[in-house]
C-alpha cells in the first residue's frame, strides 16, 4: 500500500468520524482513510484510536496503520493492543437500571429498551453491539432478567 505524504483534504471530516463514539463502523472507515495519509494530524488521530478506542477492531486497525507509518510515543513503539472489554458487570447494571427506570416498563420490551439504552449510553451500546454481534439481543434480555 502506498502512503501519501500529505494531509487529506477532508481531514476535519475524518477527525469528526474518528471521534464518533456511537458507531464503531464510522470510526473504522476513518482509520482506513487516515491510513492512506502520513501527516501529523493522521498520526495523532491514529495514535489516539490505537491507544484508547474501546472497540478492539478499531483499536487494532489504528495500531497497525500507525505502526506501518513508524509512529512512536516518546520514542518508543506503540504497545500491541490487547483485547479487553471496557466495561464491568457493575457498569452494565448501573446503566440497565437507569434504562429500566427511564422506560418505566412493566413488561420487558426489547425494542423500547434498546432505543433508550442507545440514548442513555451510546458508547456502551456501540461497544457491546460490536462485542456481542448476533448475540446482542440475547445479552440484553439476559442482563435485564438478572437485574436486582
- Would you say residue 62 has pLDDT above 70? yes
Write down the pTM of the prediction.
0.84
Task: Report yes or no on 1 lying in a domain.
Answer: no
pLDDT, residue 66, reads: 95
Task: Report yes or no on 53 lying in a domain.
Answer: yes
Query: Given 56, 77, 98, which residue is the final one in a domain?
Result: 77
Backbone torsions φ then ψ of 132, nearest 5 degrees: -90, -20
Helix 24-34 with 11-18: angle, nearest 10 deg: 140
Average pLDDT, the chain: 92
- Would you say residue 58 has pLDDT above 90? yes
- Say yes or no: 65 and 94 in one domain: no
- Say yes or no: 31 and 58 in one domain: yes
**Structure confidence at residue 95 as a pLDDT band (50, 70, 90):** very high
Task: Report yes or no on 44 lying in a domain.
Answer: yes
pLDDT, residue 86, reads: 66
Query: Given 77, 99, 125, which residue is the final one in a domain?
Result: 77
The total number of structural domains in the chain stands at 2
Residue 62's domain spans which residues? 11-77
Amino acid at each position: 500500500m502506498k502512503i501519501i505524504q500529505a494531509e487529506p483534504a477532508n481531514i476535519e471530516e475524518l477527525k469528526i468520524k474518528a471521534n464518533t463514539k456511537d458507531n464503531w463502523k464510522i470510526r473504522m472507515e476513518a482509520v482506513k482513510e487516515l491510513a492512506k495519509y502520513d501527516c501529523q494530524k493522521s498520526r495523532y488521530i491514529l495514535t489516539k484510536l490505537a491507544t484508547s478506542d474501546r472497540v478492539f477492531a478499531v483499536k487494532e486497525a489504528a495500531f497497525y496503520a500507525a505502526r506501518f507509518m513508524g509512529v512512536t510515543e516518546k520514542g518508543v513503539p506503540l504497545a500491541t493492543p490487547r483485547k479487553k472489554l471496557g466495561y464491568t458487570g457493575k457498569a452494565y447494571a448501573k446503566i440497565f437500571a437507569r434504562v429500566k427506570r427511564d422506560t418505566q416498563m412493566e413488561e420487558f420490551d426489547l425494542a423500547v429498551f434498546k432505543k433508550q439504552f442507545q440514548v442513555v449510553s451510546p458508547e456502551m451500546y456501540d461497544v457491546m453491539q460490536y462485542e456481542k454481534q448476533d448475540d446482542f439481543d440475547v445479552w440484553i434480555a439476559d442482563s435485564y432478567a438478572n437485574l436486582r
